[in-house]
Amino acid sequence: NAGVTQTPKFQVLKTGQSMTLQCAQDMNHEYMSWYRQDPGMGLRLIHYSVGAGITDQGEVPNGYNVSRSTTEDFPLRLLSAAPSQTSVYFCASSYQPPGTSLEQFFGPGTRLTVL
Amino acid sequence: AQTVTQSQPEMSVQEAETVTLSCTYDTSESDYYLFWYKQPPSRQMILVIRQEAYKQQNATENRFSVNFQKAAKSFSLKISDSQLGDAAMYFCAYREAGNMLTFGGGTRLMVKP
């Protein structure tokens, strides 16, 4: 198993550009989520999905879109990049049978810089 | 909304000594889960230890143990016999059943040889 993979690892954008951060998992996990990590603020949830075709907003969803057409993939789209979106982005997935501790598996992260 | 607070932005420990990282959280739920994640310079998030709120016994994983005080909403991490490889950012996280993780702001642990 490759686990959770993210591409690209690094990206530089100009203000106003759009792009998609890719996330894939091969563990057949229902739950997938996107976080951003900023200094001193831990990881904050952007969007999440509880299964194919179902997505919902997290704590900081503005400026981002997601879709979940397959169980494996959960891309994050930046519609019009802004310098405030400079951050490290993590994708995570988990399998949630009832009564478990719901461990999340994280991808390696994408460092995004918006100029 | 739940909040998770790590009041120590940085901690330092001598190699082979013991260090405790603090975490408090705010919730009105009785059923939830708590985690400590380690993030080394590679940025990879690594689960260190987990605790189910319904369990009274504190979780342990080799040199890592927690002090879970449910009434006080406190979840500290103790690292015994600290090693140079323990140097990293440590994040405390909270999760209710069915909900996503809420993270604290992190504690940077430095280990002195």
Query: Residue B28: CB partners within 8 Å, gap ≥ 6?
Result: none
Residue range B25-36: average pLDDT?
91
CB contact under 8 A, A48 and B100: yes
| Strand runs labelled E in A26-86 | 31-37, 43-51, 54-57, 64-66, 76-78
Minimal CA separation from A82 to chain B, in Å: 23
pLDDT of residue A103: 76
Residue range B86-90: average pLDDT?
97
Give B51-82 pLDDT, tens digit per residue.
999 888 999 999 999 999 999 999 999 999 99
Select the residue of B45, B50, B98 nearest A90 (Cβ to Cβ). B45
Alpha carbons A63 and A44: distance in angstroms, whole number: 14
Is pLDDT of B40 > 80?
A: yes
pLDDT of residue B78: 98
Contacts of B6 in chain A (CB under 8 A): 42
Interface test with B, best of A100, A101, A106 (most B CBs within 10 A): A101
Is pLDDT of A101 > 70?
A: no
Minimal CA separation from B37 to chain A, in Å: 10
Higher pLDDT, A39 or A91: A91
What is the residue-averaged pLDDT of chain B?
93
Higher pLDDT, B67 or A30: B67
CB contact under 8 A, A43 and B103: yes
Is pLDDT of B85 > 90?
A: yes
Contacts of A31 in chain B (CB under 8 A): 100
